[in-house]
Amino acid sequence: MSGATFDHLKALIVEDNVHMRTLLRSLLAALGINHVYEAADGADALATLRDKAPDMILTDLSMKPVDGIAFTRSVRLSHDSPNPYVPIIMITGHTERHKVEAARDAGVTEFLAKPITAQGLFLRIAEIVERPRAYVRCASYFGPDRRRRADDNYAGPWRRHEDLAKDLELK
Amino acid sequence: MTARKSPPHKHARAIKIMPGAYPVFSHKTAMRLLQLLRDPEVQETAARAIVDKAEELRIAVLAHVGRMEAAARSADLVTTFEQAHEIRGLAGNAGLVATGRIANGLCKYLDAIERAECASDRELVVLHLEAIARAARAEDEATRLGDAVANELAALVDKKLAEINDSARPRPGHGVRA
């Protein structure tokens, strides 16, 4: 199976550390993804996104001047975003809860903590390929559905308009 | 059936866009990718690519350690934190496990004090910076000694974080209007 390549599949790596960029590139190459574009920060990445239309994005969080969260928000919300639905995997050493939540609320599809493992990255890619998530648009958010599982025992809080309908039905 | 409690806030009107209503990977591409992602040979090639990069990353970590020490000497906390963060991100893949753990502890601590808007404990920061530098430069980084130092420092950070959380918690009688 190895040795196969994807001629049409394109990936964008957004990472300010050149060593990490080459590491990620080699992991994608192992998968046969050879059309890999690189950007050193979110601003560069937005330009590349317009030019190259990648099928997936791997981004770091801490970058200057535009970090991974601001970049993700631009991809999802900017009126001239070329593809607001592109899957975004955030790969970062920041594992503090508030950072992870900020990334999720910006519209990141998957989150991967450093150090990078091949298994960790491949699992995230498999997730976006095998189980693409619905997107949710509301006044305060656009991005992949943040409710990843349907839980029959979930007791709230109920924030969405359609939840209110369910809520009233049950009363 | 018990009624669910009504939410205290206004409900947002959300539109759900299902996969297929927006472009997704074609079935053929998805199947092929999944096959490759689960192929042991591909996984081994990828894992080897990470191992092959370790020495290059170790050299990069040492360069960041030098920059971190210089920033600390000039009391530049922002650059110190940036460099510690870079070390945390690279050390694990460089095979410098203890270094990565110690840097992670320092980053957690600096992040917490920044959020709590309180002054950093200079001694704790210096202790971490010295431990990061020593661990990264040690030939035998991956020893039980490195682990022990990382554990001790992690316990210290946890204690400090608990103190920060305690001081941020409202005390009885405070913030209550008469």
For residue A111, the model assigns a pLDDT of 95
For residue B3, the model assigns a pLDDT of 46
Indicate yes or no: CB of B17 within 8 angstroms of CB of A136. Answer: yes
For residue B47, the model assigns a pLDDT of 96
In a domain, A157, yes or no: yes
In a domain, B136, yes or no: yes
Q: In what order do the strands lie in the sheet with A141-144?
A: A141-144, A135-138, B15-17
Tens digit of each residue's pLDDT (9 = 90 or more) over A101-150: 999 999 999 999 999 999 999 999 999 999 999 999 998 899 999 887 66
For residue B120, the model assigns a pLDDT of 82
In a domain, B122, yes or no: yes
| Residues of the domain holding B62 | 55-168
In a domain, B143, yes or no: yes
ipTM: 0.80
Measured CA to CA, the distance from residue A43 to residue B13 in angstroms comes to 31
User: Are B59 and A19 in contact, with CB atoms under 8 Å apart?
Assistant: no
In a domain, A149, yes or no: yes
For residue A20, the distance in angstroms to the closest alpha carbon of chain B comes to: 8
For residue B178, the model assigns a pLDDT of 34
Measured CA to CA, the distance from residue A33 to residue A147 in angstroms comes to 30
User: Are A136 and A143 in contact, with CB atoms under 8 Å apart?
Assistant: yes
| Residues of the domain holding A67 | 6-170
Total number of domains in chain A = 1
Indicate yes or no: CB of A116 within 8 angstroms of CB of B85. Answer: no
For residue A17, the distance in angstroms to the closest alpha carbon of chain B comes to: 8
Assigned token pair, B89: 């991100």
Provide DSSP, A2-70. TT--EEEEEEEEE-S-HHHHHHHHHHHHHTTEEEEEEESSHHHHHHHHHHH--SEEEE-S--SSS-HHH
Indicate yes or no: CB of A170 within 8 angstroms of CB of B46. Answer: no
- Percent of chain A whose pLDDT exceeds 70: 84
In a domain, A1, yes or no: no
For residue B144, the model assigns a pLDDT of 65
CATH at residue A109: 3.40.50.2300
Total number of domains in chain B = 1
In a domain, B130, yes or no: yes
In a domain, B25, yes or no: no
For residue B1, the model assigns a pLDDT of 44
For residue B2, the model assigns a pLDDT of 45
For residue B151, the distance in angstroms to the closest alpha carbon of chain A comes to: 18
Would you give per-residue pLDDT tens digits along chain B (178 residues)? 444 454 445 556 789 999 999 999 999 999 999 999 999 999 999 999 999 999 999 999 999 999 999 998 998 888 988 999 999 999 999 999 999 999 999 998 988 888 888 888 889 999 999 999 999 998 666 666 677 788 888 888 888 888 887 776 665 554 444 3
In a domain, B9, yes or no: no
In a domain, B89, yes or no: yes
Q: Chain A 117-146, CB below 8 Å of chain B: which residues?
A: 117-119, 121-122, 125-126, 129-130, 132-140, 145
